[in-house]
Amino acid sequence: MITGISSLLALVIGSSSILLGFVFVVKNDVVTEFMENLGERNHFNMAFAFSELVAGSIIVYLHNKWIIGYEGLITLIGWYLIVDSAADLVVPESIKDKLGGNLEENEAEADTVNQGLGAFLILVGLFLLYSVI
């Protein structure tokens, strides 16, 4: 039973993380192609970064709890969304390419990163759901 904002956020973020993690693991080729095409669309990147900023701000505003456990993880996810979206909105693409490298050149490395990220998202989602249910 959902008893508060922490439980609701854990349920929503946990379920979304598990589904997104499975997409990264199972549909790896689709994710890689999507990421390659995404880099070519600056207006979509700006809209996505802005929506990520709004989501992170809402999470932090409603749920700024710095305690060990799933509540602290939710807060960290909110702050991550804010920092990541701010970087996407402010840092030029040329600097991001130099800092982050270019996974598009090495498809095997991109596949490994995507599968690792998928496994991590599944674990985070399972932890959040296990903490609430």
Residue 122's SS3 state is helix
Question: Angle formed by the axes of helices 107-132 and 28-38, to 10°?
Answer: 110
Contact (Cβ atoms closer than 8 angstroms) between residue 44 and residue 38:
yes
Based on the structure, what is the number of domains in the chain?
A: 1
Residues whose CB falls within 8 Å of the CB of residue 115, separated by 6 or more in sequence, listed in order: 24, 25, 28
- The parent domain of residue 96 ranges over 5-132
Q: 19-68 pLDDT, tens per residue?
A: 988 888 888 777 777 777 766 667 777 888 888 899 999 999 998 888 88
- Using left for φ > 0, alpha for ψ between -120 and 50, and beta otherwise, residue 101 falls in left
**Mean per-residue pLDDT for 8-20?**
91
Position with higher pLDDT, 110 vs 12: 12
Contact (Cβ atoms closer than 8 angstroms) between residue 57 and residue 85:
no
d(CA 8, CA 53): 20
**Mean per-residue pLDDT for 79-83?**
92
pTM: 0.79
